[in-house]
Structure formats: structure tokens, C-alpha cells
Amino acid sequence: MTAANVPSQPDPARQGEPTIEDVAAAAGVSIRTVSRVLNKSPKVNAQTRERIEAAIAALRFRPSLRARALAMRRSFLIGLIHNDRNALVLDSIQRGIVSVTAAQGYELIVHSTPPEGPRPLPMPWPLPAVRGWTG
């Protein structure tokens, strides 16, 4: 089964937010044309591009990182695993990581281990398989 055949499930965190379908309807174009604009394809004429960009602005549309990850088969997630011993130093490191990675479209996931030492991480699901992690 390909990513295109997987039934889409609404992202509860994005409930009520405009979708790419909403942008396409507002601009009077296809979803594919909106996608081309979002991906900066030269295959869209200037007038159509302006109409789509206006619809994106009016609707305050934000592309779904989940949809992007599914389409590209990449998660755009970075994991940080630490112990609690250096919490003050970790805070500035974490803010630095986020400031660099967010600008590149990545999201940071942080997991804390107990100060007494490493142990197996309790994962509610196998993240690499579900999220498409590459390493």
C-alpha cells in the first residue's frame, strides 16, 4: 500500500484549521496546484500563484507537517534523550537546537531518563516504524 492509498485521519491537534482543500476551493484551483505553489514549482503561472497565496493568507493556512512527512517519507523529527542532571545547561542547548531546526522545518521531541542512569525507554509505539525515522 502506498502513502497515497492510506486513508487520511484528521490530526486532532489541527482540528478546525484550514486544509489544503479549503485553500484550493477558495482559490478555485485543484489541490495539486496548491501543492505546486507550496513546493515553489515553476509550473504555476503568476496570476494563479497570487490567487493561491492570497487564499493561504486569508485562511491563515499552515501546511501540515504530518502530511509533508507522509508524502516525503521523512519524519522531520529530531529526538533528544537526556538525563535530568544537567537541566539548566540542557535548557539553553534545547533552545539552540530548536532555533536552528525549526527554521529548517524540523520538530524536536525530548525524552528525559532518570538521573540514576539509563534504562530502556518506554515507548507507547515503535516510533521509527510509525513516524518513518531514518536514524
Q: Which residue has the higher pLDDT, 1 or 101?
A: 101
pLDDT at 46: 95
Sign of CA dihedral 49, 53, 58, 61: positive
Average pLDDT, stretch 8-27? 76
User: Model confidence over 47-62: pLDDT tens digits?
Assistant: 999 999 999 999 999 8
Mean pLDDT of all residues in the chain?
77
CA distances from 50 to 3, 19, 20, 35, 45 (A): 30, 18, 16, 14, 9
